[in-house]
Structure 1
Amino acid sequence: MKLVDGIEWRVAEGRVPYPQALAEMEARVAAIQAGTAREQIWLLEHPPVYTAGTSADPAELIDPRFPVFATGRGGRYTYHGPGQRIGYAMLDLSKRNKDVRCYVHALEGWVIDALGQFGIHAFRAEGRIGIWTRDGGSEAKIGAIGVRVRRWVTMHGFAVNLDPNLSDFGGIVPCGLPEFPVTSAAALGKTISPETFDAALAFALPAFLRSVGGACSTASNAGA
């Protein structure tokens, strides 16, 4: 592990089972709250799994072809799997800006900035959750955001589609938005490895941390 702007930067080797990741994340949050561990950004990949946020509607679980796990993050159902970059951010907002909406807005901006380094124009969509781009002229979702804040320490984070099997999203209504497709960097003609995307995130990290610690007037959704 290394430090990037004072944050412990952890990159997992191999695919981390979702229950293991959740347990480790919860333990780290408790240690941050106790003052015995640094804040951490954890970048990883999961085996195929569906996760249910606090607003998940069982009717939107169409075909549970993969394991399904309930989680405490905001949002509805989402998919995680190979070809997707997951970023879990465990940050102490009590040292920054104690505003969850502003934190989510900053998290969205971090992902948008990283994708922009590869020529992908991503954006927020008013009234819709996630990270969006245009695929063949239509708006499509390229990333999901889902967070939980426990005693001002953040959990969960983002999932960005680099080159997943997009058909795996077909077992759910992704984030409760059936009218919009899901896309990926590969579907847009961009080849992005996890390592190069991690480097883009590290480059954009200082701006993200400034946003988390600064004033914010833009509200955002806190679900995947």
Structure 2
Amino acid sequence: MIPDDIEWRVSAGLTPYAESLAEMEARVAAVAGREARELVWLLEHPPVYTAGTSADPAELIDPRFPVFDTGRGGRYTYHGPGQRVGYLVLDLDKRGRDVRCFVHALEQWLIATLGDFGIAARAEPGRVGIWTGQGAAEAKIGAIGVRVKRWITLHGFSVNLDPDLSHFGGIVPCGLPDYPVTSAAALGRPISLADFDAALAARLPDFLAALPCGRKPA
């Protein structure tokens, strides 16, 4: 169930990356001014590489797609068709001023959702993102990169459902050269965007319930 104070938006087709950045910035200002509801926005992008604040230019190996500086945390990542991207414009002033808690809750939301489809995913200490497999089969299936402005969150996550994994070859994904990327389809667990969105929505209350850490007592 989606709370009344959050807009749950699913965009069909491919949303240009620059358009999404402008929309997020405008929404942050509106949420901060109490002029709009918080937002969970699910979409796909045309193929792009995005650079976080820690991006190392040496990790941009083959810029075969447009490259955008984002202002989010993290390094280089890829977005493209077949990947579910989720942008969260949430007010941590009311949900707890604890960015670590927010990121942890976001990880657990994605891990639980992938688990609904039989994919055993996890977070790894010291490595950003969502991981599957062990040993030689270990790979990254999801990325997380967030920014906080006036205690309002921007950006969010991406989960590889069925993107062209070769497109990750133009970068060192998230600055981790020793680990491959994978997808639900590559793991033999195909998931449609609609089914994944429905599972995310079903688990949204659990994600929000994990966010009071850091909240000041009333």
Q: Could you state the TM-score of these two structures normalised by the residue count of structure 2?
A: 0.95
Moved over 3 A (4+): none
Is 1:92 aligned to 2:58, yes or no?
A: no
Q: What runs of 5+ residues in structure 2 fail to find an aligned partner?
A: none
Instruction: Give the C-alpha shift of residue 215 in structure 1.
Output: 6.3
Alpha-carbon shift at residue 214 of structure 1 (Å): 3.9
- Distance in 2 of aligned mates of 1:213 and 1:164: 34
Deviations 1:58-80 (A, max 9, x none): 00000000000000100000000
**RMSD over aligned Cα atoms:** 1.4
1:136 Cα offset (Å): 8.0
How has the CA–CA distance of structure 1 residues 16 and 207 changed in structure 2, closer, same or farther, with 3 Å as cutoff? same
Q: Tell me the number of residue pairs that the alignment of Structure 1 and Structure 2 aligns.
A: 214
Does the residue aligned with 1:212 lie in a helix, a strand or coil?
Answer: coil
- Equivalent residue, structure 2, for 1:208: 207
Does structure 1 residue 115 correspond to structure 2 residue 117?
no
- The Cα offsets for residues 35-79 of structure 1, whole Å up to 9 and x where unpaired, read as 000001000000000000000000000000000000010000000
How many angstroms does 1:5 deviate by? 1.9
Aligned to 1:43: 42
Distance 1:136 1:73 in 2: 30
Q: CA deviation at 1:96?
A: 1.4
| Percent identity of equivalent pairs | 70
1:4 maps to what in 2?
A: 2
- Output aligned runs, 1:212-223, within 5 Å: 212-214=211-213
Alignment TM-score, normalising by the size of structure 1: 0.93
Unmatched tracts of structure 1, length 5 or more? 217-224
Q: Is the 8 A contact 1:135 1:183 kept in 2?
A: no
2: CA distance between counterparts of 1:114 and 1:199? 10
Structure 1 counterpart of 2:96, one-letter code: N
1:135 CA drift (Å): 7.0
CA apart distance, 1:122: 0.5
CA distance in 2, matches of 1:21, 1:59: 26
How do residues 41-190 of structure 1 correspond to structure 2 at under 5 angstroms? 41-134=40-133, 137-190=136-189
Residue 212 of structure 1: CA displacement?
1.4
Question: 1:115-161 CA distances to partner (integer Å, 9 max, x unpaired)?
Answer: 01000010000111110001785210000000000010000000000
Contact 1:135 1:188 in 2 (8 A): no
Cα pair distance change 1:135/1:170, threshold 3 Å: farther
